């Protein structure tokens, strides 16, 4: 019988790429998610019955254990950018990470990969990412921990979000415009996770970044070039953006999460005070034998829909160059 991997958060942005790669490698894939009925799209990643969504809440010992039972490898891709209800940063990124690692040790799972993030500062996001890593290493010292910078790809919530803003807004307010990022392609992150899950990566921490370091303003300018739009970028001091974030957070709190703050949270503003780049001397993609993919080779493949002419942009450009 083929080997089995359990991927917590396997229907999420990173998890689905890991699931697809593991299925292609011949593994049976158990996708552990809170709403398996909404994760049916992962089934075609493999042969019938090879990729199966299962019910799991990372806050619950019993469901985490049931999803992991019989697994030869575990990949934890669960993470949040905004705490809602009982799914707080502490419950998901700290306690949940430790729970997965502890049960993996209890069940004798040979390989564990934990997807964390390059994060620093005083934000709840960064604090719980660090606490989650510590909990994982305390329970499962041989884990592979991946710390990606901001991740880009067709389903990302970073480049797509800013491109959507640029389509609607002639002026783009940009708090943290000087903050630096090292965008990393989701397929590169998924490949790193697969190497860890299959025992081809040595245990330890890897910081994953692409070939280029960019400020947030440079990211926005790159997006505008790709989507062929001219917009005014207005850099804002982070402090001036706090009242707006506070108001959006209060709406989310008053509505008990029914109206989610998708603009910017106060915690996200705290995160923007710190760069998200690979540390000097850190192990990274090169140590895993992975050639990092640049943003310019990928962004046009999925941001074209934000261009004024959408999928017809290339045809219109060609028509302009035709001789009468």
Instruction: Summarize pLDDT for 88-138 with one digit per residue, the tens.
Output: 999 999 999 999 999 999 999 999 999 999 998 889 999 999 999 999 999
User: Per DSSP, what are the bridge partners of residue 236?
Assistant: 175
User: Per DSSP, what are the bridge partners of residue 175?
Assistant: 236
Q: What is the mean pLDDT of the chain?
A: 93
Relative to beta strand 51-55, strand 73-76 is unpaired
The model's pLDDT over 225-244, given as tens digits with 9 standing for 90+, comes to 999 999 999 999 998 889 88
pLDDT score at 2: 85
Cα angle value 222/223/229 (rounded, 5°): 110
Model pTM score: 0.93
Measuring CA to CA, how many Å separate 105 from each of 65, 108, 196, 199?
11, 5, 16, 16
Q: What is the DSSP letter of 301?
A: H
Measuring CA to CA, how many Å separate 162 from each of 166, 173, 320?
6, 11, 28
Instruction: List the structure tokens of 183.
Output: 């965008």
Q: Mutual orientation of helices 61-68 and 96-107 as an angle, nearest 10°? A: 50
pLDDT score at 322: 61
Domains of the chain, start order: 4-155+183-212+276-292 (3.40.50.720)
Whole-angstrom distance, CA of residue 245 vs CA of residue 5: 39
């Amino acid at each position: 019988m083929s080997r089995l991997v359990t991927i917590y958060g396997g229907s999420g942005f990173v998890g689905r790429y890991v699931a697809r790669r593991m299925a292609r490698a011949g593994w049976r894939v158990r996708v552990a998610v809170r709403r398996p009925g909404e994760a049916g799209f992962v089934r075609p990643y493999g042969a019938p019955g090879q990729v199966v969504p299962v019910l799991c809440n990372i806050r619950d010992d019993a469901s985490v254990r049931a999803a992991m039972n019989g697994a030869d490898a575990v990949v934890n891709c669960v993470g949040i950018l905004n705490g809602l209800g009982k799914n707080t940063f502490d419950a998901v990124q700290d306690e949940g990470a430790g729970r997965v690692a502890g049960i993996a040790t209890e069940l004798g799972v040979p390989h564990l990969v934990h997807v964390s993030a390059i994060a620093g500062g005083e934000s709840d996001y960064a604090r719980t990412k660090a606490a989650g890593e510590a909990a994982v290493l305390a329970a499962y010292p041989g884990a592979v921990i991946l710390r990606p910078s901001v991740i880009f790809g067709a389903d990302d919530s970073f480049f797509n979000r800013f491109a959507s803003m640029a389509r609607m807004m002639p002026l783009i307010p940009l708090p943290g415009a000087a903050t630096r990022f090292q965008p990393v392609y989701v397929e590169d992150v998924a490949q790193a996770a697969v190497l860890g899950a299959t025992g081809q990566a040595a245990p330890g921490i890897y910081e994953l970044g692409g070939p280029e370091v960019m400020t947030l303003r440079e990211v926005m300018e790159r997006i505008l070039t790709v989507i062929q739009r001219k917009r005014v970028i207005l850099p804002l001091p982070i402090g001036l953006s706090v009242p707006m974030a506070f108001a959006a957070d209060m709406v989310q709190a008053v509505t008990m999460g029914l109206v989610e703050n998708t603009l910017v949270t106060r915690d996200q503003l705290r995160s923007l005070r710190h760069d998200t780049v690979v540390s000097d001397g850190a192990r990274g993609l090169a140590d895993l034998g992975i050639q990092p993919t640049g943003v310019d080779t990928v962004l046009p493949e999925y941001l074209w829909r934000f261009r004024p002419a959408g999928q017809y942009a290339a045809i219109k450009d060609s028509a302009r160059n035709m001789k009468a």
